[in-house]
């Protein structure tokens, strides 16, 4: 039996027991896919990250697993892993860190307490299987509380984006499993992201969000960077003036795990660059004994 060390972090927060929990195995080379999936299932967190041996200076392969599947990309694992590698001295703060995910290379930069990554894929926006009436039925709301038609947006992991008209609506929202099976499951993309536009500060707009997915039943996630990236891309495509937009996204409030995600979209000659940033704190370490 060989011991494999891991670290527990709370991501998209600056204090323990808030944000989104994450387990990272910083030296996971030699473990096969079946073992990685079994470990993620054993820990039963929304995501567990396995980091392989460095493939170049400040460059590491990274695999992300939920308890039931491997993901091509996820935001809070990217931010949390970057913070940990820097804390362990495996990454240098003053140069870009590249994490090689299934979706492609994710380039991370550090700015004071924030780790910020640029998505590997541009945003894509398609029609959702939900319409305004179906989204209201799904969430137990009145149709007038859903703003416009939902869309399916992705920067590597697709989400049905549903805009609501008020904080009261987003707090009341409760996805119904029967409506989910009728309207969401047929799309093959079992993630929805609710959002409400809020106040604008000097340099950013504040949004309140909630994310629901199916992982052993409909469940809520306290902080979802990949969804924030999709939302930033969607919002930026509708902007008519300027070339740089920023959002501060508050998620996890209803779960008692408040999280803060910083999103940015910048339009240049190459298209739309989307960046997600956040903090992370280490809350524990452990050793898992497995047969390697």
Report the candidate in 253, 168, 171, 175 with the shortest Cα–Cα distance to residue 213.
175
Sign of CA dihedral 88, 90, 93, 99: negative
CA-to-CA distance for 239 and 105, rounded, in angstroms?
27
* Annotated catalytic residue, options 5, 29, 42, 47: 47
CA–CA–CA angle 222, 33, 107 (5° rounding): 55
Active site residue 47: yes
3-state secondary structure of 27: coil
Q: Can you say how many angstroms the Cα of residue 270 is from the centroid of all Cα atoms in its chain?
A: 24
Report the candidate in 13, 7, 8 with the shortest Cα–Cα distance to residue 256.
13
- For 75, counting Cβ atoms within 10 Å of its Cβ (0-12 exposed, 13-18 middle, 19+ buried), the class is buried
Please provide the distance, in angstroms rounded to a whole number, between the alpha carbons at the two ends of the chain.
7
3-state secondary structure of 41: helix
Which residue pairs, CB below 8 angstroms and at least 24 apart, start in 200-204? 201/248, 203/246, 204/246, 204/247, 204/248, 204/262
Active-site amino acid positions? 47
């Amino acid at each position: 039996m060989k011991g494999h060390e891991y670290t527990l972090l709370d991501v998209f927060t600056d204090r323990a027991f808030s944000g989104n929990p994450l387990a990272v195995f910083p030296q996971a080379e030699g473990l096969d896919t079946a073992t990685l999936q079994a470990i993620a299932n054993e820990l039963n967190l929304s995501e567990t990250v396995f980091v392989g041996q460095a493939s170049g200076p400040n460059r590491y392969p990274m695999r992300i697993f939920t308890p039931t599947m491997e993901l091509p990309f996820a935001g809070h694992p990217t931010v949390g892993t970057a913070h940990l590698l820097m804390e362990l001295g495996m990454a240098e703060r003053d140069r870009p860190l590249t994490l090689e995910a299934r979706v492609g290379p994710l380039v991370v930069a550090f700015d004071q307490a924030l780790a910020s990554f640029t998505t590997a894929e541009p945003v894509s926006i398609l029609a959702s299987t939900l319409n305004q009436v179906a989204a209201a039925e799904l969430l137990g709301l009145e149709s007038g509380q859903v703003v416009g038609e939902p869309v399916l947006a992705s920067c590597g992991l697709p989400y049905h984006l549903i805009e609501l008209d008020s904080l009261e609506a987003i707090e009341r929202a409760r996805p119904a499993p029967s409506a989910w099976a009728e309207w969401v499951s047929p799309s093959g993309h079992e993630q929805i992201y609710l959002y409400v536009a809020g106040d604008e500060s000097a340099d950013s707009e504040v949004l309140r969000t909630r994310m629901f997915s199916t992982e052993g039943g409909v469940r809520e996630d306290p902080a979802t960077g990949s969804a924030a990236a999709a939302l930033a891309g969607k919002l930026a495509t509708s902007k008519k003036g300027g070339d740089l937009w920023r959002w501060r996204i508050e998620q996890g409030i209803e779960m008692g795990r408040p999280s803060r995600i910083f999103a940015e979209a910048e339009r240049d000659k190459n298209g739309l660059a989307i960046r997600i940033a956040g903090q992370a704190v280490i809350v524990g370490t452990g050793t898992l004994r497995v047969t390697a």
